[in-house]
Amino acid sequence: MAGSTQIPYLLRAARGEVLDRPPVWMMRQAGRYMKVYRDLRDKYPSFRERSENPDLAIEISLQPFRAFRPDGVILFSDILTPLPGIGIPFDIVESRGPIIDPPIRSLEQINNLHEIDPEASMPFIRTILQTLRQEVGNEAAVLGFVGAPWTLAAYSIEGKSSKDYTIIKGMAFSEPEMLHKFLAKIADAIATYACYQIECGAQVIQMFDSWAGQLSPQDFDAFAVPYQKQVFAKIKAAHPDVPLILYINGSAGVLERMAQTGADFVSVDWTVDLAEARQRLGANIGVQGNIDPCVLFGSKDFIRDRILDTVRKAGNRRHILNLGHGVLQGTLEENVAHFFETAKQVDKLLAVHA
């Protein structure tokens, strides 16, 4: 356990310190690629039980911490977790994903939604985050996370995962006032939930707008950015020093727009060269990423070389080393271990492989 006077390494990067190596964690670092997780899933097949039972969620959050010692430990949860707190029930079916029934399709349904009270609807979050802070001390930063308004609206309106988003886009293009009302309500709830996570112990918040990469730039400006800003502004008003990260899958076309949302860091996927991402985002925005998760299916030398290339391109300030998306099922645990071991020796390796 690290001494209490130290600041977690990831938070030092977030503050803009020049560091010998970037802090490192992985999206979806707890999950199906780990045997200990699969064993626990077999015993507790309900995802909601795994994520909402504090003992299980704490154990799952800590599995990769014990195995790999990342610089960030992220709450094991789901972006849909707060929805019942505003009146939208959901279930997660193994191999099918989230199901919202009935989906949100009418103004009456939107008007019937209520304000969120996280302590009443999600008291398990406090237990999980407080315990994670105690367990990891200052050896890692504890990350909370939320889904962005557009993505949560998309799930709620489509009723499930989608390939073409015809229902929410149909609403956006034919009944925009109704969708804007829904997005504003969700943004308010998400901001309240994020602040609650911080009050419970989260030291960083990452917002996932998983589906916003499916929007054209003009629709991104209309239906995603204003509500990302709404969430971030409310968090910053209450907790100005908590770093905020924005992740969008397939975001190459909207990077500059992401820099305008109030995020401190933009998490970049692998479709963008990290040096180019730096230029496009500007000097004031940190970067996270951006290694292709499939790199972990390569040889150990290949994994090392990709890490070194990424770190060279990112520079030694305000970079959090990560994948460009989550760890994929079937990834070898030994390759994940190698990724973390290599990441923690980057300063020495760069001197050798100059």
Q: Of the candidates 337, 331, 322, which has an alpha carbon nearest to the alpha carbon of residue 296?
A: 331
Is 37 part of the annotated catalytic residue set? no
Is 28 part of the annotated catalytic residue set? yes
Contact at 8 Å (CB) between 188 and 147? Answer: no
Distance CA 256, CA 254 (A): 6
- Read off φ and ψ for residue 72, nearest 5 degrees: -135, 135
Distance CA 352, CA 354 (A): 6
Which position among 32, 48, 126, 257 bears the catalytic label? 32
Which position among 41, 278, 306, 318 bears the catalytic label? 41
Is 193 part of the annotated catalytic residue set? no
Rg (CA), the chain: 19
Which position among 28, 133, 304, 306 bears the catalytic label? 28
Please list, in sequence order, all residues whose beta carbon lies within 8 angstroms of the beta carbon of residue 299, skipping any fewer than 6 positions away. Answer: none
Q: Of the candidates 133, 124, 118, 127, which has an alpha carbon nearest to the alpha carbon of residue 201?
A: 133
Distance CA 105, CA 309 (A): 47
The residues pairing with 91 across neighbouring beta strands, listed in sequence order, are: 99
First and final C-alpha spacing in the chain:
34
Helix (H) or strand (E) holding 189: helix 176-200
What's the DSSP call for residue 142? E
The residues pairing with 208 across neighbouring beta strands, listed in sequence order, are: 147, 247
Distance CA 125, CA 183 (A): 23
Is 32 part of the annotated catalytic residue set? yes
Dihedral, CA of residue 194, residue 239, residue 141 and residue 252, to nearest 10: 70
Is 292 part of the annotated catalytic residue set? no
Which position among 12, 69, 78, 312 bears the catalytic label? 78
Which position among 9, 33, 155, 227 bears the catalytic label? 155
- 3-class state of residue 339 by DSSP: helix
Which residues are designated catalytic? 28, 32, 41, 78, 155
